[in-house]
Amino acid sequence: MLPRPPIMRKRKLNVAVVGVTGAVGQELLNVLMTRRFPINQLLPLASKRSAGKRVRFKGKSLIIRELTKNSFDKIDIAIFSAGGDISSKFAPLAVKAGAVVVDNSSAFRMDKRVPLVVPEINGTDTRKHKGIIANPNCTTAITLMALYPLHKEFGVKRIFASTYQAVSGSGAQGIAELKAQVKALASGRKIKKSIYPHQIAFNALPHVDSFLKNGYTKEEMKLENEGRKIMHLGRFKASSTCVRIPVYRAHSIAVNAEFTKPVSVVKARRAIKNAPGIDLMDDVKNDLYPLALNMAEKDNCAVGRIRTDCAMKNGLSFWVVGDQILKGAALNAVQIAELIATEI
């Protein structure tokens, strides 16, 4: 994991968490606490429905406040994790009030004025912000954690990827639907579907997000579009198929990557081993490779099954797994906030 940067400040910061009751919002509180972010006051914000409820932070019980246009007075950093519509409406208001926004939604990711940041890859891009910094899509972040060290070594040209995405990527409702369907099937009852178009229990759905005219889903196009912006690589190509699987937490991605330079498995392993935030788990003789079960609730991502690709010149195939709620969302957002805190 990328070490916490030294934050040279005489005062601590006022931080707002927007969408604090969601899965990512709850994880944001944990990460802010475990990484000892310099907080003076934490302001938990959510919808009117959740206002008045309480969350715990550093042993204290804090009242959740309703998100309004006046929520950001005296706030230094506002971390948003409440969906694109909320971010589009309220992030500019937070900036106007003087806060720097770290946004977990897709609202600003492809805005040319907004840096899109994975700190281990392009952390210096935070210095270009004009009030908002975007957090990438979870699958993009996890994939690039493995791909970028290899890109620096060999120069990536294009990738083909199949992603296997946990139901928590759909939020708490996705987890609840999987649990309910498993219980129903175990007791011989009819299942109910509301989050997914088909049964998710004991199944695999090649359908994450809505379909586009080109036959890909929005989720599948994010890997190419966001990858180009984060790696500063305008010609980067990525063809992916995103699959929702009945796993509670952690996304897994099978990647076939083509590079501009001749590749070496030895050099690839060395590049991964020396990179921050990514662990090498690659010993097939002892059945060692990353598993979703093992990577859930872990800060680092992990790579295994590194091998020379047999179908393309200068190609490597590998398997990368990461917790999409942590490195794919909350942890990455807090790492961005840490970089901001060194400069406020």
| pLDDT beneath 50, residues of the chain | 8
Residues tagged active-site = 138, 251
Tell me what pLDDT residue 127 has. 96
For the stretch 240-273, pLDDT in tens is 999 999 999 999 999 999 999 999 999 999 999 9
What HEC string does the chain produce? CCCCCCCCCCCCEEEEEECCCCHHHHHHHHHHHHCCCCEEEEEEEECCCCCCCEEEECCEEEECEECCCCCCCCCCEEEECCCHHHHHHHHHHHHHCCCEEEECCCCCCCCCCCCECCHHHHHHHHHHCCCEEECCCHHHHHHHHHHHHHHHHHCEEEEEEEEEECHHHHCHHHHHHHHHHHHHHHCCCCCCCCCCCCCCCCCCECCCCCECCCCCEHHHHHHHHHHHHHHCCCCCEEEEEEEECCCCCCEEEEEEEEECCCCCHHHHHHHHHHCCCEEECCEHHHCECCCHHHHCCCCCEEEEEEEECCCCCCEEEEEEEECCCHHHHHHHHHHHHHHHHCCC
Tell me what pLDDT residue 344 has. 79
Four-way CATH pick for 140-324: 3.40.50.920, 3.30.360.10, 3.10.20.90, 3.40.50.2300: 3.30.360.10
Sorted by where each begins, the domain ranges of the chain are 13-136+329-341, 140-324
Q: Domain 13-136+329-341 classified CATH 3.40.50.720? A: yes
Tell me what pLDDT residue 8 has. 45
For the stretch 133-157, pLDDT in tens is 999 999 999 999 999 999 999 999 9
Do domains 13-136+329-341 and 140-324 share one topology? The answer is: no
Tell me what pLDDT residue 187 has. 97
